[in-house]
Structure 1
Amino acid sequence: MSALVQREAADIREDWLGVALSTLPADRPAAEAAISGLYRLIGYAPPRFHWVPSPLAAVETVPPGLGPRPAETVERLAEWPVPKLLAALRTALFAELDTQLRRYSGALAQMMHREVRLPLWRTSVGSLFIALRAAHGTPPVAGTGWYTMQCVSQVALYDGVRRAAGAAFTPDQDRRLDLWTTAARSCGLWWPREDVCVISERPVAVHTEVAGEDGEVRLHNEDGPAVRYSDGWDVHVWHGTRVPAWVITDPDVRRIEREGNVEVRRCAIERIGWPSYIERAGLVLLATAPDPGNPGSHLRLYDMRKETRVLLAVNGSVERDGRRRQYGLTVPGRFHDPVAAAGWTYGLSAEQYSQLLRRT
């Protein structure tokens, strides 16, 4: 592929990343027209539309006039008939487009898959699905298949090929693809029942950080919510991990000690900073040693309660800000030698770890 096509793929990826993370108000007429067109393709009349300010409101709200339909509660989303039909419609279209691409330019499709679809999919996992899990309260997310269908990555792939290569599809295929593309570009998530479709507005604030060299990003905000909606609902995220608000706003040693979730505890400690946490928690330094896997740095082994210990190390690679991050690893209480503890984290003996040239 030429450098020009590569640059065009990067531009298309950035365009669709903007769509996936948009905080602009929904284009309600465009969204309703596109979704109505999709309903018609599966043999349904256009639904009534019920707009809500956030995914949480969508999950908790029973649309007016829906009536007593237990089969269409959000908890049973996977059983709803309309999402199943729409999913089949989309799958059939994409199978046609894949066939067309193999005839037209398989190499272009592969490049767009690598440069556009995969980064967008990973970004959705690190943003869209985090908010969805928060809205539903507990994983797994009900109706995961339908939510996956609303990820922009697949639509972006075909749209990218079409924009980069010109008229690669038939007019009918373009028409159907346009409906999915417009729906993805015009609003937040939507929940299609037989008579009514609930649509969420987009968030009013989204905070992310770069998570990969190919444009992939993930949610992160060290000063407040990573995602916030107009109704006040928000989600706090630390480097791609959803956390309770206190981890960001008021990390406290006592709360950390009471926290049962290992990942949440790790994020809270990182929010404070490992050296500061060790000092506040009163951890006792047992031993220190030069790090054989990271020349110029030292390993420090601290005693914790509950028969565990903390190994404080320095990252072998440089962060984007030019610094080397300190991080802590919990190790079994049987260790007294920092080098042996470091080796254990890699599945190595102390002697084997000592022979490493450099770790990352």
Structure 2
Amino acid sequence: MNARKRRVEILRDSSVALARWQQAIRLRAEWLSHGLSCEPAERDAAQAAITKLYALIDAKPPEFVWVDSPAKAYELLAGRADAPIDLTSPMWTQSDMQPVAIRLASLQGQLRHRLEQRTGSSLDPPWSATGSSALARDHPEEALRTGVRLPEVLDVGVLDALRLSLRDGLAVPLRAKLGRGSNLLGWRGQHDAPWVAHFDIRRRLGMALLGPEEAAQLEMWAQIVRSCGWWWPLADICVVAERTSAVSVETSAASRHGEVRLHNATGPAVRFADGWALHAWHGTVVPAWVIEDPAVERILAERNVEVRRCAIERIGWQAYLDRAGLDLIAAAPDPGNPGCDLRLYDLPPQLWGTPARLLLAVNGSVERDGHRRRYGLTVPADLDDPVAAAGWSYGLTAHQYRQLLRRT
């Protein structure tokens, strides 16, 4: 094949891939909306799908018990002798113990394996630092035009993006808040959207031909994602939680594929109908006081640096400096951020725990709402020059930092 024909073929293939990518973006948004839905559960649909899964493992239809939150489910299950399997216990691997949850997990695992074979994809693709992977992450359309395969773009633009928003951003912190109850084997309902979307989107794009049994079972899992919150199957009952009643998210400046993170400056970022809630500040999970009752005394007593930072940002750096009574050491224009100043404050050891100073700077990048975020950095206590302190934060000398055109 001569070079001209090859270029024509690449253009034709990339045009098809670009059209599919645009469709994938719309489908990704559809699945993200299911994962973030705060509508009441569609109980009939959820129960029908779960009952079908029970039938696939030759289990009788369970009695459904609905609760308002995962926390309420754990309270109910903790008192049962036949509570779902505790994943920290080695007993669940014994061959003579095959409760419903284990059989469903096996069923799901087998389906995912077959779907990976059908689609030629993986739910755990090997990490790659190649240029094509970076291009697919940051500039998907350009990647497709230059010959990067659509499946690679889908991995980072659909699977990774949904996992970041729904698994890492929602399910993981909710599990952490649940504590010991997170060890009980169950499923995440609406927050299981990433793996379902991974296969469903490829199917809907015409990139995989599924057998009737595979398609039917995938639809059962998809129907659960679209219908309810977390759920825990037992032999006689299935405990199902309602969906979240409120979720507050934002799109960060670093978002490339519609990723969102939890954030609410005035109340819970996640709330369930019974009041069980989670607070977050720009994606960082924090105690409720950080959002609802921030005070300098609490900030000074807080040991976690990230929580402390969020609390300071919540009340505002200048308000914190004024209330904490920090002494200004020096101020200077920021060479890396024209029009903005660098301000260096002393941090007494009894205030911060170790000798240090605080550099107050302005972000070089504009936020989505048009303003530039002010932030603070702790720097060594022996730095007296704000410019030297800013350079230190980048691993540069003061002279090197002064040569920067603009930092981000």
The reply to whether TM is greater than 0.5 is yes
Residue pair 2:53, 2:104 contacting (<8 A) in 1 also? yes
Counterpart CA distance in 1 for 2:180 and 2:293 is 22
Match of 2:277 among 234, 238, 241: 234
Please say if 1:162 is aligned against 2:169.
Answer: no
TM-score normalised over the length of structure 2: 0.79
Counterpart CA distance in 2 for 1:148 and 1:46 is 18
Counterpart CA distance in 2 for 1:149 and 1:286 is 51
Counterpart CA distance in 1 for 2:51 and 2:84 is 22
**CA pair 93-224 structure 1, distance change in 2 beyond 3 A:** same
Counterpart CA distance in 1 for 2:90 and 2:291 is 33
Structure 1 segment 1-360 matched on structure 2, within 5 A: 1=14, 2=16, 3-62=18-77, 67-69=80-82, 72=85, 79=92, 81-102=99-120, 107-124=149-166, 125-136=168-179, 141-142=182-183, 151-165=192-206, 168-211=209-252, 212-306=255-349, 307-360=355-408
Structure 1 residues 42-85: Cα deviation after superposition (integer angstroms, max 9, x where no partner): 3433333221101111122237xx74347746976994854443
What letter matches 1:322 in structure 2?
A: G
TM-score normalised over the length of structure 1: 0.89
Specify the SS of the correspondent of 2:240: strand
Counterpart CA distance in 2 for 1:294 and 1:349 is 16
Specify the SS of the correspondent of 2:120: helix
**CA pair 226-78 structure 1, distance change in 2 beyond 3 A:** farther
Counterpart CA distance in 1 for 2:400 and 2:370 is 29
**CA pair 77-294 structure 1, distance change in 2 beyond 3 A:** farther
Structure 1 residues 299-358: Cα deviation after superposition (integer angstroms, max 9, x where no partner): 111011212211001111111111211100112222212122222222333333333332
Specify the SS of the correspondent of 2:361: strand
What letter matches 2:112 in structure 1?
A: F
What letter matches 1:19 in structure 2?
A: H
Counterpart CA distance in 2 for 1:204 and 1:74 is 28
Specify the SS of the correspondent of 1:46: coil
Specify the SS of the correspondent of 2:205: helix
Question: Structure 1 stretch 28-37 or stretch 74-83: which is displaced more?
Answer: 74-83
Residue pair 1:77, 1:142 contacting (<8 A) in 2 also? no
**CA pair 81-302 structure 1, distance change in 2 beyond 3 A:** farther
Long gaps (5+) in structure 1:
none
Counterpart CA distance in 1 for 2:180 and 2:329 is 41
Paired residues, number: 354
Counterpart CA distance in 2 for 1:296 and 1:316 is 10
**CA pair 146-350 structure 1, distance change in 2 beyond 3 A:** farther
Residue pair 2:38, 2:245 contacting (<8 A) in 1 also? yes
Structure 1 residues 89-125: Cα deviation after superposition (integer angstroms, max 9, x where no partner): 223222222222239xx94543433332221110011
What letter matches 1:162 in structure 2?
A: R
Residue pair 1:78, 1:143 contacting (<8 A) in 2 also? no
Specify the SS of the correspondent of 2:196: helix
Counterpart CA distance in 1 for 2:160 and 2:360 is 34
Residue pair 2:84, 2:234 contacting (<8 A) in 1 also? no
Question: Structure 1 stretch 208-217 or stretch 13-22: which is displaced more?
Answer: 208-217
What letter matches 2:179 in structure 1?
A: H
**CA pair 264-299 structure 1, distance change in 2 beyond 3 A:** same
Counterpart CA distance in 1 for 2:88 and 2:287 is 24
Percent identity of paired positions between Structure 1 and Structure 2: 48
Counterpart CA distance in 2 for 1:144 and 1:222 is 33
**CA pair 23-200 structure 1, distance change in 2 beyond 3 A:** same
Counterpart CA distance in 2 for 1:133 and 1:220 is 17
Residue pair 1:108, 1:161 contacting (<8 A) in 2 also? no
Specify the SS of the correspondent of 2:387: helix
What letter matches 1:91 in structure 2?
A: G
Post-superposition offset of 1:268: 0.6
Counterpart CA distance in 2 for 1:228 and 1:77 is 34
Counterpart CA distance in 1 for 2:172 and 2:371 is 31
Structure 1 residues 279-312: Cα deviation after superposition (integer angstroms, max 9, x where no partner): 1211110011222322332211101121221100
CA RMSD across the alignment: 2.8
**CA pair 171-70 structure 1, distance change in 2 beyond 3 A:** closer
Specify the SS of the correspondent of 2:357: strand
Question: Structure 1 stretch 266-275 or stretch 29-38: which is displaced more?
Answer: 29-38
Residue pair 1:38, 1:179 contacting (<8 A) in 2 also? yes
Residue pair 1:78, 1:142 contacting (<8 A) in 2 also? no
